[in-house]
Structure 1
Amino acid sequence: MTDMNYPGVNIESLGSLSLSVPSGATAVPLFIGDFGTAFEGVVRVDSWPALSRVAGVGTASGVTGSVLRGYFENGGGLCYLANTAGKTLQEALTAVEAFDDVTILVPLGLWDGGADAAGVTARAVATYAASRRAMAILHADRDHDPRQARDAARAFKLDDGQSAHAALYHPWLIPPGNGAQPVPPVGAVAGVWCRVDSERGVWKAPANATVNGGARPSQAVSDTEQDEAKPVDVLREFPGQGTLVWGARTLNETDDRWKYISVRRLANSVERDLREAVRVAVFEPNSEPTWEKLRSAADTYLQGVWRQGGLMGNTREEAYFVQIGKGVTMTEEDVKAGRFVLKVGLAAVRSAEFIPVTVTGEAGQA
């Protein structure tokens, strides 16, 4: 078991106690870009036919339209569009605060302003993703080769938290049709993430997955080039198989726990669900009965994840653990302050290695 001394999560406001941990949505993208005068702020879209009606006709055309079409063609459903026209990126992100189901952030036109601007955007979006237990899907520039894509990702200078919540894809995709120009792959990739989550679960790596819609990579990438490009995720075309997403790494190169997208997203999903469950403890005494209710609820929830194949291990004990209690996860000072700490460990990589998730909440004083 790994050392569990990791930063917790502070929860500021809570509601009435629940004895269950419901599973929330895992794949709800937010596409961030300049949509001109099509709409103001943030709009919700749930299908390709609804795009023009909800967000304006112009949104469904050009590069942006091709990216969004790729999203819906590959299994995407509900998503949000945030308009940066006349706003800073931070202002656009602030407007998203009202939509707490967003789990994926996709900046459009990442390279339109050049490398420096791409780095600023990548850092801002990855920072926001990390703070929301979400993921950022980024892409290389149109003319990058695999090594340049890798170097560009490193030039973003993401810290460990940012890089663990971001992935970068290469190369661009060429939609079907005569004279079609390459478009960023992020729409298709976001759709693949949604499809894999729906068919298999958030714990399944979104790799070895077909890109629907007939799009083809704008560049061929060899095995050697792909290996050299790590941690960049590539899209490749294989005879008889079409175009596949052929990689599932985050941009984190320093912490083996968060090397893979599926592990980071599973931990994010578990933390979001547990946080929602413990919001209800504010009116409960910070005492053993409350802790046992929370422990039991978390145990039932994680047992469900394990039985669906989301965790490794032949037994529950090998798959996960749940800890809460004075002298276990809390000190006497924690209890007196009305603060409880719930810790869980997930065998998301292999049964001998637990991935930590810590949730700190506030309850009534004992």
Structure 2
Amino acid sequence: MSILSVSSGPTAVPVFIADFGTAFEGAARVSDWSDFRGVAGGGAIPGVTDRVLRGYFENGGGHCYLANTAGKTAREALAEVEAFDEVTILVPLGLWNNGADAAGDTARAVTAYAAAHRAMAILHAHQDCDARQAREAARSFKLDADQSAHAALYHPWLIPSGDGAQPVPPVGAVAGVWCQVDGRHGVWKAPVNVTVQGIARPSQAVADKEQGEAQPVDILREFEGRGTTVWGTRTLNETDERWKYIPVRRLADTVERDLQKGFVFAMFEPNTQPTWEKLRSEADAYLRALWKKGGLQGTKPEEAYSVQIGQGLTMTEEDVKAGRIVMKVGLAAVRPAEFIPATVTVTADRT
């Protein structure tokens, strides 16, 4: 029997998707701000503000990837990202540079990729939108339920510190905050109530009433004595209560990714009870460790998660004959309290 191991993979590795001109072709990995400047040629990049990427690193961002859309569509650029399976966050820059129709096309391409790869997209509205118009901009993308559950939209733009600084989209700083919170606490912790570094103020002030009217858009607000603060943690899904909050969706995606990668060995094993029991045991150990870290609710393991696998339980006779192994995992996410479903499917040897 092959050795089975389920380990926790990275949860916050972004790819920034934009027109980087002739700086590089395809996709590139960068480690920090100085590395980014080297890859970018040390100067201005068409359609991209250096300050957006700087905001990412200033707010806790680690290594990331850049996908160049110069001369190609967002979908074509995303094909270059397939080689980097650690990417979990997609951030399109210059989203509105070519108008509303192009913004919608890009948003749909990025969120479709995110949904298919258990990742999240961080989007933004046009600079001139107020809070309610930002909500309408998000709805104008016409994302389906799965796409919207794998996307969040932040508003308003931010004014960096420094004389004469011009507003920039908030997505770079927000991506950094996601990385910061994941590193300090875990993917289950909401990336909210965090002060944004390197920012003088939001480009617009948003009051409580306006924020309520703008939901599910996530707002950045300035509070006296706190500075500019991330003050929202919702996905763009307005129809499914399970996927209303960013940390719940990201937690479920993380669990599915980790289990799927850990179970690759099962492709070469008989689709029989001993294999299923090994899979169940390893999934239980992984989820127990997650619970002990505080990633799941419950005072004991059976209140925090469930693992089901077996013929007549998660698989039909046809599944077994076809070599499909299906495991169903329930998660008592920190918010909300009910079990959140996750399904892992692998193909096993039919012998």
Contact residue 207 and residue 246 of structure 1 kept, 8 A: yes
Q: Which residue of 1 aligns with 2:230?
A: 245
Question: Bigger relative contact order, structure 1 or 2, given CA contacts below 8 A and separation 6+?
Answer: 1
Aligned with residue 150 of structure 1, among 135, 149, 157: 135
2:204 and 2:336 mapped to 1: Cα distance?
38
Q: Which residue of 2 aligns with 1:346?
A: 331
2:80 and 2:48 mapped to 1: Cα distance?
24
Contact residue 259 and residue 283 of structure 2 kept, 8 A: yes
Q: How far is 1:59 from its partner?
A: 5.0
**CA root-mean-square deviation:** 1.4
Contact residue 196 and residue 228 of structure 2 kept, 8 A: yes
Q: Which residue of 2 aligns with 1:360?
A: 345
Aligned with residue 205 of structure 1, among 161, 173, 190: 190
Q: Per the alignment, do residues 49 and 86 of structure 1 end up closer, same or farther by CA in structure 2, a change over 3 Å counting?
A: same
Which residue identity lines up with residue 347 of structure 2 in the other structure? E
- Between the two proteins, what is the percent identity of the paired residues? 72
1:110 and 1:44 mapped to 2: Cα distance?
21
Q: Which residue of 2 aligns with 1:100?
A: 85
Deviations 1:280-309 (A, max 9, x none): 112211111111110010000001111111
Does 2:142 correspond to 1:195?
Answer: no
Which residue identity lines up with residue 185 of structure 1 in the other structure? P
Q: Per the alignment, do residues 352 and 126 of structure 1 end up closer, same or farther by CA in structure 2, a change over 3 Å counting?
A: closer
Contact residue 138 and residue 167 of structure 1 kept, 8 A: yes
Does 2:49 correspond to 1:64?
Answer: yes
Q: Which residue of 2 aligns with 1:31?
A: 16
Paired residues, number:
351
Aligned with residue 269 of structure 1, among 236, 249, 254: 254
Q: How far is 1:55 from its partner?
A: 2.9
Which residue identity lines up with residue 264 of structure 1 in the other structure? R
Q: How far is 1:58 from its partner?
A: 2.1
Q: Which residue of 1 aligns with 2:302?
A: 317
Q: Secondary structure at the match of 2:199?
A: coil
Does 2:168 correspond to 1:183?
Answer: yes
Q: How far is 1:315 from its partner?
A: 1.0
Unaligned ranges ≥5, structure 1? 1-15
Does 2:37 correspond to 1:52?
Answer: yes
Q: Which residue of 2 aligns with 1:285?
A: 270
Q: Which residue of 1 aligns with 2:66?
A: 81
1:333 and 1:118 mapped to 2: Cα distance?
44
Q: Which residue of 1 aligns with 2:25?
A: 40
Which residue identity lines up with residue 24 of structure 1 in the other structure? G
1:304 and 1:338 mapped to 2: Cα distance?
29
Q: Per the alignment, do residues 18 and 257 of structure 1 end up closer, same or farther by CA in structure 2, a change over 3 Å counting?
A: farther
Q: Which residue of 2 aligns with 1:5?
A: none
Which residue identity lines up with residue 52 of structure 1 in the other structure? R
Q: Per the alignment, do residues 17 and 209 of structure 1 end up closer, same or farther by CA in structure 2, a change over 3 Å counting?
A: farther
Q: Secondary structure at the match of 1:282?
A: helix
2:46 and 2:195 mapped to 1: Cα distance?
24
Q: Secondary structure at the match of 2:49?
A: helix
Does 2:113 correspond to 1:128?
Answer: yes
Q: How far is 1:238 from its partner?
A: 0.4
Q: How far is 1:216 from its partner?
A: 1.5
Q: How far is 1:62 from its partner?
A: 8.6
1:168 and 1:352 mapped to 2: Cα distance?
24
Contact residue 45 and residue 54 of structure 1 kept, 8 A: yes
Q: Per the alignment, do residues 61 and 332 of structure 1 end up closer, same or farther by CA in structure 2, a change over 3 Å counting?
A: closer
Q: Which residue of 2 aligns with 1:221?
A: 206
1:352 and 1:310 mapped to 2: Cα distance?
12
Contact residue 312 and residue 351 of structure 1 kept, 8 A: no
How do residues 325-344 of structure 1 correspond to structure 2 at under 5 angstroms?
Answer: 325-344=310-329
Contact residue 192 and residue 233 of structure 2 kept, 8 A: yes
Aligned with residue 288 of structure 2, among 274, 280, 303: 303
1:283 and 1:97 mapped to 2: Cα distance?
24
Q: How far is 1:210 from its partner?
A: 1.1
Contact residue 52 and residue 170 of structure 2 kept, 8 A: yes
Q: Per the alignment, do residues 351 and 287 of structure 1 end up closer, same or farther by CA in structure 2, a change over 3 Å counting?
A: farther
1:123 and 1:350 mapped to 2: Cα distance?
27
Which residue identity lines up with residue 308 of structure 1 in the other structure? K
Q: How far is 1:20 from its partner?
A: 2.1
Contact residue 22 and residue 277 of structure 1 kept, 8 A: yes
Does 2:102 correspond to 1:117?
Answer: yes
1:215 and 1:162 mapped to 2: Cα distance?
33
